Amino acid sequence: MFPQPIRVVTVAGVLLLCGSLQGQDQGAPGDLPRPPQRKQQAPPPEPVLLDEIVARVNDQIITRRDLDHELYVIQSEVRRRIQDREQAMRFWQTQRRTVLRELIDTRLLLQKAEELGVAPNVDDYVSGQLEEMRKESGIPSLEAMDQAMRRQGMSLAQMREKLRQRAIQERLLGVMVYSRVTLLTPEIQEYYDQNREQYTEPEEVELAEILFLTEGKEKEQVRSKAQGVLDGLKAGGSFEELAKEHSEGPTANRGGSIGAFKRGSMQSVQETAVSKLEEGGHSGLIEADYGFQILRLLKRKPARQLDLETVRSHIEQQLFTKKAAPQLKKYVEGLREESFIYVDPSYQKDFDVEELGLTTIEF
């Protein structure tokens, strides 16, 4: 039997102020001593709620903090992706109701992966994923990426943990679900023919940068320094040499080269600046969340249609996901049935958890 929702609270402290008998007037002989005069006490402060248990999944818990963090991340993403306020609100109201159920299902999958021993070390894979995300976003370093992510309510460490959990889940599902799905060559060809527009490789640009970070610095001083370097470029200075001397990016020692980026993968301000450049040309000052940047276009590769063999693995993944959906649903439902799942009643009305097969506790 569970008690009422477990809450961890702190009270700032209660100070008892008691009068002292010492030095009080004792009155006439034989009279009872007067009660000591007490100073009027302020009421004790209200308890401050630090956290509470929202759900139990076998021997693990999901706290209010876990739930609130997930809700905040999703809400921030909805606001970023959907500009229309009413549309964003409708989408958010639908999405938020599934959050608790998804947190519970994630715990079930991670627990099963650990039980079956299909959760090997995935740190190298996760580090590679983060580096790929950084490059695709046009962010100069993981430190700058951490800064940008924190402004959206998530740290780099939290993203690393999410990717780790996702990788472990995929390993488990690969063994228990996806390995039982078969694909035929005609299915792959048909999907390719029907979705050719998806397999047009966008334009790609190879870039170099001179980066000026603003964290912990006076922004206008950094701007002034960046403008001075830009003036040097306009006067005929070597981009590579100026990058080696002034750039604070991780590739400064090799002339600022930061690799290739596909059209649409960079931030809009960078996309706009690069779209106007000829090969060998450089941009003006680009202001970003993390500082200022000057970009140089080293090479431009035009868009092209990808052939079937190039995209076969992607198509297989798409078809696997579609064909595996019924089996995946059945597998997760089986995990729910064999598990102990309890959701505090005060949360059940706000989230779609009916299908979890909840354990009911009578108090």
Least confident of 4-8, 260-264, 279-283: 4-8
309 in a structural domain? no
188 in a structural domain? no
Output the pLDDT for position 25.
41
Which DSSP category does 289 fall into? T
Asked if 271 and 263 count as a contact pair (C-beta separation under 8 A), the reply is yes
Strands (E), the chain: 7-10, 48-57, 60-63, 200-201, 204-213, 257-262, 286-288, 291-301, 304-305, 341-343
Is the confidence at residue 36, as pLDDT, over 50?
no
Output the pLDDT for position 2.
37
CATH of the domain at 269: 3.10.50.40
43 in a structural domain? yes
214 in a structural domain? yes
Asked if 223 and 320 count as a contact pair (C-beta separation under 8 A), the reply is no
Asked if 296 and 286 count as a contact pair (C-beta separation under 8 A), the reply is no
- The rounded percent of the chain whose pLDDT value lies above 70 is 84
Which DSSP category does 282 fall into? B
Least confident of 172-181, 222-231, 274-283: 172-181
186 in a structural domain? no
Domain end among 277, 302, 327: 302
Average the pLDDT over 97-116 and give the result: 94
pLDDT-based confidence at residue 32 (cuts at 50, 70, 90) = very low
Same domain, 290 and 208: yes
How many structural domains compose the chain?
3
Average pLDDT, the chain: 83
Is the confidence at residue 279, as pLDDT, over 90?
yes
Q: What tokens does 304 get?
A: 């092209």
**Which residue segment(s) compose the domain that 251 sits in?**
203-302
307 in a structural domain? no
172 in a structural domain? yes
Is the confidence at residue 244, as pLDDT, over 90?
yes
Neighbours of 147 (CB within 10 A): 19
Same domain, 298 and 149: no
Average the pLDDT over 150-160 and give the result: 85
Higher-confidence position of 41 and 254: 254
Same domain, 211 and 259: yes
